[in-house]
Structure 1
Amino acid sequence: MTVDLRHYQMKHQVTYFECDETGQLKLSMAFALAVLVSEKHDEAVQEASGTRPHSDQAWVITNYQARFAPQQPTNEEIILLETEYTAANRFFAQRTYWLKSLTGQLYATIKTQCVLLSLTKRKMVPINQEYFQRYQLEPTNQLPKLDQPLKMADGQAVTAAEYRVRYFDLDSNRHVNNARYFDWLLDPLGADFLLHHQVATVAIRYRREVRYPNMVTSQWTAAPTTSGHLTTVHQIKVGETVNVSASFTWQKK
């Protein structure tokens, strides 16, 4: 393991409960591991700098852009998780994550945009100067744009499933864990599709927070094939409000 202010890496052994029935790392777990390495990075920098996070504040991800290799980590494999802050301004920060084999094979590249949230007010708060100094970042007026998910057309025929937000879907920040959204988004595709298709790219935008004990509706529809890959368009709604938008491209296993 190595530590510096902007970049962090750690080893992780994939466990059976992080894998699907094919023995490969689940998509939701890949994103959960990205969150894990970012938390370990923050802890290491806080220890090195002698600072502690504001008890009322937590990072919340607003966008994901990701690319996955056809072959993903398998059960009991030891992999390398890496992360780095790449840019930030007064309200948004961007991180990149990499999942790799110990021999350097790249399994996934995940880019995120996030904001600081007040846990009591449930509102976005500005990023203070201490953050930029701690991670050796220079504030920028223009952040790189992440890919946005395709839009689902009004009135388009969709396949849908409903899910109740359970108490155990919440994390220590008292909001629905990001990994849970992936399960809701992909489960309506069905086991046969998921067994025979591998995610190639992901674009997600979190628009509004889903809260306990909401009932959510997960909808999806197929879109025109992109670069030889099947594309699906998804959204999660509470009532008539769209809380999450997403699109995925797929390749056959």
Structure 2
Amino acid sequence: MAGYFEKEWTLNFTQCYANGQLKYSELNNILQITASEHAVILGFGARTMLKHKQSWVLSRMLIQIKRLPRFEQTLTIRTWIQDFSGSRSTRNFEVILGEHVVATASSLWAVFNVEARKAEALAVSTEHAVILPDMHSTPRPVQRIDGLCDFQKLKDYQVVLSDLDIAGHANNVKYMDWCFDALDPKYVLSQQITEIEMNFLRELTYGNQVSIHKGVGAHGSDTYNISRNEKIHFLMHVANKQA
């Protein structure tokens, strides 16, 4: 169907936890890679954007999970663009396993000038792209997370070389890993998580010292932040089955 792009993924052992289930950060990763490949086909992929000193950066992501795929299973990621407006774009996803949608996601992206290090209007034409404004993937749009809660520090961390991507900053997938690595593995592997919402607020670069915090909410939901010099760079809200 016009406007949709699909990519198959067969999960390998590097993408899965020790219990065989797909890592939450890898789910985020394959969604973004699929989006990137669709953008290339549409004419505003990474190489084209860099000619204009621009890059797409993920601003917000909402992932809702019915169940996680497992090692060696083949899944299909379906993605489409719901909205373009100046320097921002909304892109949606479905994760399909067999005949069932096992997860959905909605994301908000910003056009980022890699030299000025700030958002700006897209320099590439999008006239040929099919926009599907009425096709939602999640019951609600991705939102701004309320970070006004009592946080307790879980651990400190220093950004290392392997955290960086081609844009020269810590890849947003790493933010998820840092938070989940600070938690009890039994909880992460329990498959209790039904929703992950993330706000990417500020970039981090090599050598930055950060602190990872957790704030406990009501009804089985938790909020995490990654902060540097008392400024929040990342917020993540996690909802559990008992919520």
TM-score, length of structure 1 as denominator length: 0.85
Q: Percent identity?
A: 18
State how far apart, in whole Å, the 1-side matches of 2:190 and 2:132 are.
44
Name the residue aligned to 2:193: 199
Residue type matched to 1:116 in 2?
V
Name the residue aligned to 2:234: 244
Asked if 1:109 is matched to 2:99, the reply is no
Name the residue aligned to 2:7: 10
Structure 1 spans left out of the alignment, 5+ residues: none
RMSD of Structure 2 on Structure 1 (CA): 2.2
3-state SS, counterpart of residue 44 of structure 1 = helix
Seen in structure 2, the aligned counterparts of structure 1 residues 91 and 43 have a Cα distance that, compared at 3 Å, is closer
State how far apart, in whole Å, the 1-side matches of 2:145 and 2:180 are.
15
1:209 Cα deviation from its structure 2 partner: 1.0
Aligned residue pairs, count: 233
Equivalent position to 2:155, from 161, 183, 186:
161
Seen in structure 2, the aligned counterparts of structure 1 residues 90 and 46 have a Cα distance that, compared at 3 Å, is closer
Asked if 1:64 is matched to 2:64, the reply is no
- The answer to whether the 8 A contact 2:55-2:114 is kept is yes
State how far apart, in whole Å, the 1-side matches of 2:43 and 2:84 are.
18
State how far apart, in whole Å, the 2-side matches of 1:39 and 1:199 are.
26
- The answer to whether the 8 A contact 1:150-1:246 is kept is no
Asked if 1:41 is matched to 2:38, the reply is yes
TM-score, length of structure 2 as denominator length: 0.88
Name the residue aligned to 2:25: 28
- The answer to whether the 8 A contact 1:152-1:234 is kept is no
Equivalent position to 2:119, from 124, 144, 160:
124
State how far apart, in whole Å, the 2-side matches of 1:66 and 1:234 are.
15
Name the residue aligned to 2:136: none
State how far apart, in whole Å, the 2-side matches of 1:11 and 1:197 are.
23
Name the residue aligned to 1:222: 216
- The answer to whether the 8 A contact 1:152-1:233 is kept is no
State how far apart, in whole Å, the 2-side matches of 1:180 and 1:68 are.
20
3-state SS, counterpart of residue 125 of structure 2 = helix
Deviations 1:100-143 (A, max 9, x none): 11x22112111110111111221111024712x0313499xxxx
Equivalent position to 2:221, from 217, 231, 236:
231
1:10 Cα deviation from its structure 2 partner: 1.1
3-state SS, counterpart of residue 58 of structure 2 = strand
1:197 Cα deviation from its structure 2 partner: 4.3
Name the residue aligned to 1:73: 69
Residue type matched to 2:205 in 1?
R
- The answer to whether the 8 A contact 1:149-1:246 is kept is yes
State how far apart, in whole Å, the 1-side matches of 2:87 and 2:121 are.
5
Residue type matched to 1:199 in 2?
I
Residue type matched to 1:124 in 2?
A
1:202 Cα deviation from its structure 2 partner: 1.5
Q: Could you list the runs of 4 or more consecutive aligned residues of structure 1 that deviate by over 6 angstroms after TM superposition?
A: none
Seen in structure 2, the aligned counterparts of structure 1 residues 174 and 221 have a Cα distance that, compared at 3 Å, is same
1:183 Cα deviation from its structure 2 partner: 0.7
Name the residue aligned to 1:96: 92
Seen in structure 2, the aligned counterparts of structure 1 residues 224 and 93 have a Cα distance that, compared at 3 Å, is same
More displaced 10-residue stretch of structure 1: 77-86 or 203-212: 203-212
Q: How does 1:170-185 map to 2 (within 5 A)?
A: 170-185=164-179
